[in-house]
A and B are shown apart, each in its own frame.
Chain A
Amino acid sequence: MANKEIAGKTVDVNADGYLNNPSQWDKDVAIEIAKEEGIELSNKHYEVIEFLRKTHESGETLTIRKVGKSGITDIKGFYELFPGGPLKISSKIAGIPKPSSCV
């Protein structure tokens, strides 16, 4: 556990830069983390982030497939919004834990 200054707030992050406590997240934090990832957030990004936070809060496991079926974007669109590793990067920006594959 480490504290990090993001958008003027002290937040608790893990070694990979993911928030340990989703309740410390707000939009300013999201903008700042997105900047570090080279992403400028659009409304579409926020819709995805909101979906991620809600799904995470309900205790469900998130998958790329699930985001693709969310009605917000399809899988291809998800990759275009968060290039490289869409679920990993979007989860970081959404302030939820790094997705873990549990196989």
Chain B
Amino acid sequence: MRKLVILGGGTAGTMMANKLRKALSRDEWEITVVDKHRTHYYQPGFLFIPFGIYNRSDVEKSKSDFFPSGVKVIYSDIDKIEGEENRVLLDGGQVLHYDFLIVATGTQTRPEETPGLTDKLWKKEIFDFYTIEGAVDLQKFFKTWEGGKLVMAISELPYKCPVAPIEFVCLADEFFTRKGIRDKVEISLVTPLPGAFTKPIATAMLSELLKSKNINVIPDFYIERVDNDKKVLVSYDQREVEFDALTIVPVNMGADMVERSGLGDDLNFIPTNKFTLQSEKFENIFVLGDASNIPTSKAGSVAHFASEILFENLMNTIEGRPLTAKFDGHANCYIETGFGKGALIDFNYETEPLPGTFPLPGIGPFGLLKNTKMNHYGKIMFRWIYWHILLKGKELPVEADMTMAGKKRVSL
């Protein structure tokens, strides 16, 4: 019996388990998934919780609902991977041997990495919405908050879902407008990036949008610490930003298990071939989703597109062929912009987000880099697609490789 082990049963690991169980004979291949948590969260939904649009029950399901039959599932912490020995040690002493290993242990928030962040204001006036607990706490806080300086800050790059903070400030603008206290709420986006987003054309569009909503962007701000007494963020070059309520994206890091295995970089992300998705260190270890260091967004759409490439390359290597499938870094992100509208960006390693239509050239129905109602519906519909199609590893009518069809080349 040959053995394939998948570490992590989140978006990436679940998709791969479904694809591979269908493709690999049950007589020849044993597939095992290891994860410490039993709940699968629809993480794109966390954004909506602080504003009461979604509640906890809208984003939670049992992980076991999404694993195919014929896959062995172990709920356990992982001690470490021993790549030289082709085995994984679990907490409690269990040992899993493998022929191929897929690491999909994702990224986690580490608020304790920023001095002062988890001090006395944490969960009182400082929140995150990248965890279910944080999102729910923030919902409670916003219900009675009477206004002041609301700061959305990003601690470190890279972080999961690069557009989420932009969506957060747009939804906050709508939320406080509807509450009738928008004039009492000053909204700022604090980022270590030189602008609202990384790529110039999308940044120009998004900056304009934020300006029209009276949201300040404070760029090039790299947070050193949080001063709880003065209620300010302090940057490494000693600039300060005052807040009354702070929503923060804490430092993102890969799993501690990666560090214990000696496989990670300084943020515990795993050096990975950005085209083949093979680990740089071991030929039979592949990395999917946020756990890798490939230079594209940490986002579910990336994990989805990459999963098709990884599937092809795994089948190649299992059947003795070279790794011919190449990932292009394709990402596709809906951006909620408030008041029932949304924008959409589609890009890869080489091509920055451009205006146009998606997925059908000239038709859409979605508009790239445009603020439309249809894009918002796309985002809302996506939750259904996620639970029913995407996680199950079924085909979506969107290609893994990004296409230029429907995009317009523009210059600034």
Contacts and interface: CB of A to CB of B under 8 A. Distances in A.
Contacts of B349: 102
B193 interface: yes
Given A75-B236, A101-B157, A103-B162, A65 B266 contact: yes
Interface residues of A, number: 19
Nearest to B162: A103
A55 to B, nearest CB: 11
Contacts of A76: 224, 236
A65 B155 CA distance: 11
Interface stretch (B181-189, B209-217, B290-298, B398-406): B290-298
A51 interface: no
Contacts of A100: 198
Interface string A53-92: 0000000110111100100000110110001110010000
Contact of B267 (A65, A75, A84): A65
B194 interface: yes
A79 B198 contact: no
B158 A101 contact: yes
A87 to B, nearest CB: 9
Nearest to B220: A85
Given A65-B266, A69-B266, A103 B222 contact: no
A16 to B, nearest CB: 11
B348 to A, nearest CB: 11
Interface of A: 60-61, 63-66, 69, 75-76, 78-79, 83-85, 88, 100-103
B207 to A, nearest CB: 16
B156 interface: yes
Contact of A75 (B194, B220, B222, B265): B222
Contact of A79 (B159, B193, B236): B236
B237 interface: yes
B157 A63 contact: yes
Given A64-B222, A75-B222, A85-B220, A101 B236 contact: no
A53 to B, nearest CB: 19
- Per DSSP, chain A at the interface is loop
5 contacts: A100-B198, A101-B157, A101-B158, A103-B157, A103-B298
A103 B157 CA distance: 8
A61 B237 contact: no
Given A83-B237, A103-B159, A103-B298, 8 more contacts: A60-B265, A61-B295, A100-B198, A101-B157, A101-B193, A102-B295, A102-B349, A103-B157
Nearest to B219: A85
Nearest to B158: A103
Contacts of B220: 84-85
Interface string B219-242: 010101000000000001100000
Interface in B336-387: 349
Contact of A101 (B198, B224, B265): B198
A47 B169 CA distance: 41
B352 to A, nearest CB: 10
A86 to B, nearest CB: 8
A65 B193 CA distance: 14
